Structure formats: C-alpha cells, structure tokens
Amino acid sequence: MKSFFSLVRFSHTIFAMPFALTGFFIASSQHDVGLSWQKLLLVVLCMVFARNAAMAFNRYLDRDIDAINPRTKLREIPAGVISARTALWFVALNCLLFVAATWFINFLCFLLSPVALAVVLGYSYTKRFTWLCHLVLGLGLSLAPVGAYLAVAGRFDWIPVLYGLAVLFWVAGFDVIYALQDEDFDKSQRLYSMPSFFGKARALRISEWMHLGTAVLMVYAGSRLFAAAPQTGWLLWLGTAIFLAMLVYQHLLVKPNDLSRVNMAFATTNGIASLIFGTLAIADLLT
C-alpha cells in the first residue's frame, strides 16, 4: 500500500481537493440543499479515484523515459517495486471505481465521467507532441470545483467555472516551474515542455503570466461568489489574499540559474496555499 501511495504521490491530492470541496460547499450554499455527507464522501472518492488513475497511468506510460532520467529512475515502476502490468490494473480499477461513484451522485456526473477520464488520462500523451502539456494538466485539475458543484446542483454555473479556470492557470504555472528540472533531459529525448522549448528564463516568465491570470480569476470569482452568497465576507478574501501571496512567494524561490528550491516552490508552497484558501472559503460559506 505504501508503494502505491508513493506511485501516485497521494500527498499531492492536496492541490485540487480544497477547490473541489469549495465547489461542493458553494453549491450547497447557493441551492440551500443542506449538507449531504454521503454526497460529500462520493465527491472525495471521485477525486481520489480520478487522481490515482491519472497519476498511475502517467507513471505507466512514462516508465521507459523514467528509467533513463537520473531524477526519476528510482520511481516504483522503473525500480521494479511495482510491475507495469500491476500499475495498469491499478489504473483500470480506479477508472471503474470513479465511474461507479459518479453513478451514485447523479446522472449528469455519470454521463460526463468518461470525458473527465479522457482529460486526466490524456495528459500523459501530450508531452510527446506539444509544449502546451502544462495547460492540459491544469485542465484536468480544473475539473475539481466544477465537478463537485455539479454533484450538488446538477447543472453548471459561472462561479465554479471561474474557480476552475483559476486552477487551470495555477496548476499549469507551477508545473512549468517543476519542469525546469528536466529541461536538458527533455531536449535530449525530444519531449515537449515550456522550459525545453522556450528555455528556463522565458518559461519562468510565462509561468508568472499564468499566475497573474490566476490572480485575476480568483478575485473575479470571489466577487461573483460574494454577490451570490451575501454571508461570505472577510474569510473568503483573506484566503484569496494568502493564496495569491503564496504564488508570489514561489516565484521568489526559483531563478533560472538556481533550482535548488524547486520542490519547495512546487509542492510545499502550493499545497499550503490551496489548503488555506479552501479552509477559509468553506468556513465563510458555513458561517
């Protein structure tokens, strides 16, 4: 079990989960349907199953590439801790569990479940033909607040879509930072990423512009939420301010000629930012 948790980097679920829960509580607040613990559990399970499938499939598909990359050669599949076949069965199991969970949520979520899986699984192929791969990864995680809102409301709304777009650019931006580590390797293997295509300095600048887009979308989404749910107030804006401050901080940590703090900028900073925002936003919606 520990090996599978490591395979899918289970701790990284913290990135999108708070936004999914925020979308869930936005819908509950707007539609005054009360808190359904069963539906909340199903949303959490969908998040876990979808991410497990996506991450394990990425590791399966990249197993030969990971085996020759000094940074990734000790990952579970190239190291022989988990076989490629076992990883693929793990992907299939999580896909089935994801679809099954959506069936118990509502019919719309069930109908859209193959679309969600196509996006999160399809990302793994994109680095082979486009440097826009970071945006595809962001698109996969952007489904979290939208899907959770659909689970409660059964229809689309602009507020979760705006938060989803914010997640898209946020994730794409920090994935560019993470990809800085593999610029030379990606070039040697003809893999696509913004650092390998544009170089470190320009890729970092693009990441900054993406996070500026995140800031605009977060503020706009917050203003729409404030107008739609008058009970929201200073906690939502405090969470938004802290989240955006952490985005600025991660760009201060990484320079084109100094990647020593990439992991802190990628995992620690973004995990804390998402957790704080989600906690304060949900607390505001519940008060």
CATH code of 47's domain = 1.10.357.140
pLDDT of residue 36: 87
The pLDDT value given to residue 211: 98
Contacts 24+ apart (CB under 8 A), 276-279: 276/239, 276/242, 276/243, 276/246, 277/18, 277/19, 277/22, 277/239, 277/240, 277/242, 277/243, 278/17, 278/18, 278/19, 278/21, 278/22, 278/239, 279/18, 279/239
180 is a domain residue: yes
Query: 3-class SS at 258?
Result: strand
Domain membership flag for residue 150: yes
- Where in the chain does DSSP place strands (E)? none
81: in domain: yes
Q: Which two tokens stand for residue 33?
A: 């349907």
Cβ atoms of 109 and 102 within 8 Å: the answer is yes
Domain encompassing residue 99? 12-286
Q: Residue 49: is it exposed, middle or buried by C-beta count within 10 angstroms (0-12/13-18/19+)?
A: buried
Q: Rg for the chain (alpha carbons), in Å?
A: 19
Q: How far is CA 37 from CA 140, 152, 219, 244, in A?
A: 25, 11, 29, 31
Cα 236-238-240 angle, rounded to 5 deg? 70
Both tokens assigned to 261: 């703090």
User: What would the pLDDT profile of 13-61 be if each residue is shown by its tens digit?
Assistant: 788 999 999 999 999 988 877 788 999 999 999 999 999 999 999 999 9
Report the alpha-carbon distance of residue 255 to residue 57 in Å, rounded. 31
**Cα(272)–Cα(11) distance, integer angstroms:** 12
What per-residue confidence (pLDDT) applies to 108? 97
Q: Determine, yes or no, domain membership for 4.
A: no
Q: Is residue 2 included in any domain, yes or no?
A: no
Residue 254 belongs to a domain: yes
With a cut of 70, list the residues of the chain below it in pLDDT. Answer: 5, 8, 10-11, 230-231
Domain tally for the chain?
Answer: 1
Q: How far apart are CA 191 and CA 206, in angstroms?
A: 19
pLDDT of residue 11: 67
Cβ neighbors of 198 (< 8 A, separation 6 or more) are 131, 206
- Per-residue pLDDT, 10: 65
167 Cα distance to chain centroid: 7
Query: Alpha-carbon torsion 187, 124, 58, 80, what sign?
Result: negative
Q: How far is CA 80 from CA 52, 66, 215, 270, in A?
A: 19, 12, 42, 30
Does residue 19 belong to any structural domain of this protein? yes
Instruction: Judge whether 77 lies within some domain.
Output: yes
Identify the pLDDT of residue 3. Answer: 73
Give me the pLDDT at residue 100, please: 98
Cα separation, 245 vs 63, whole angstroms = 36
Provide the sign of the torsion angle of the four alpha carbons 17, 21, 24, 30, taken in this order.
negative
- Least Cα distance to 125 among 60, 176, 48, 173 occurs for 60
